[in-house]
Structure 1
């Protein structure tokens, strides 16, 4: 049928009609809230490039987690900022490391909240890379790094993490982590793999927040080339074969085509990380009066869900939860 018999505007006339035929519904249950946990007492350091985001000491991180749970947000994702860093990233797998301590504190305070822990070395290495570096060449050593990542994941599971999330992009890290978790008795701890993580320009504000910028070079030898989409499907396939329970695409908005292709390629739960640069752009534009923050955020996150992601990691999570409850 064509116009005038078919009139598409008939179901757009009123808000109730639009709601009745709406295909994609964003829910607070879709959201994961990232939190930066810093060593020290009573720390609440604002991140200049991410207005509204803070580095938080454990006491404030617990308060933030408790508020997230009150708002209906089902999960938080923890990133650690240790007091000291070294070439071996010892703070990553220290049983008394910042993420391990924060995990215990949050699980004690809010047992029902899902705590996801980032498994990577970049926040803990003195050079800022995601793995062990060969001093003579500056090369990030893949296989040596796997052991440290596995130890990190096991220590986080021991601390009470509900999900571990390797973000390093070393080859074989999901299999190494699954083996270590199983050997330590954590058979039921899921792995949310950063399966398709691109070497993106949109991570800049995160590196300020996590204090994890590389001291030399870049991460293009292990993170994905932004030009590649088929490669993402291979990365996902490999992570699934190695034992991933959830797969992720990162960033989200510049890679919605990849989110869609991954959704069509696997039946595993799919996460998409709306990264710091996406957050900062909307914040900056709204503060300058160029965008309406609320409508822009909800449109962006709905687009991520429409592309196929069931799980959306976003720094806007508390604001979105409040908006959706109105």
Structure 2
């Protein structure tokens, strides 16, 4: 007879395990994003005056002080044709600043671009939202650089993983779990396919192991086994398979971009828009003017609104 407590204990832990497997991808976090957001928060505090500003933030503040001069110069050169004077000016200025001070490290590029997005919102007296971040040229450039680097390294990782699954190399890439799907009887040395652990190893591992992409890697490996290619053809098939899988990496990166933006918005100070208060005051003045029917009061009410 099965002990009731033992039975319910097993059911409980089995439920916990299933929930963990199901929700694990939702709690996964790309290491590069974590680092970039932490660095962004630090620079944001420097910009807001909560911390001693770094040289980069000091330079940014100096550039912002020159914004009126830049606008005046632009007005003199372009004239009054520009209809989006305010928004375009700050975006242009921040874009120039980004390319002038663009760091080498990917995380630094992202954090600087995110700071510039916040500055753009701050100067424009608006909320920091997804649209502003995603449309900022600096962020577009920074995220593109990150994506290109990840995809390039991911292709190398995927080649190694497939080579292992079909028995061409002795061990899998670090962190890649799963047994072989078969073994091709080929005499050539395929050690050149072994992935050298790079900067984005953890990011790549997170994207592959916490998504359906892992199953796709196994499926591609099985297709190669079924084909029974020779040494020349297997190289081509591995290259094609890894290139095909890299498109899934790009798709994941595109989705993760939204996650990064949401992380930043959650960590950023929220600006309170007081326009509603102005509208309330103006409406009160108009109502009061109607009630008093005083021309002088009408005149001052109109002046205050204008």
TM-score (norm 1): 0.25
TM-score (norm 2): 0.26
Flag the structure with larger Rg.
Answer: 2
Q: Which has the higher helix share?
A: 2
Q: Which has the higher strand share?
A: 1
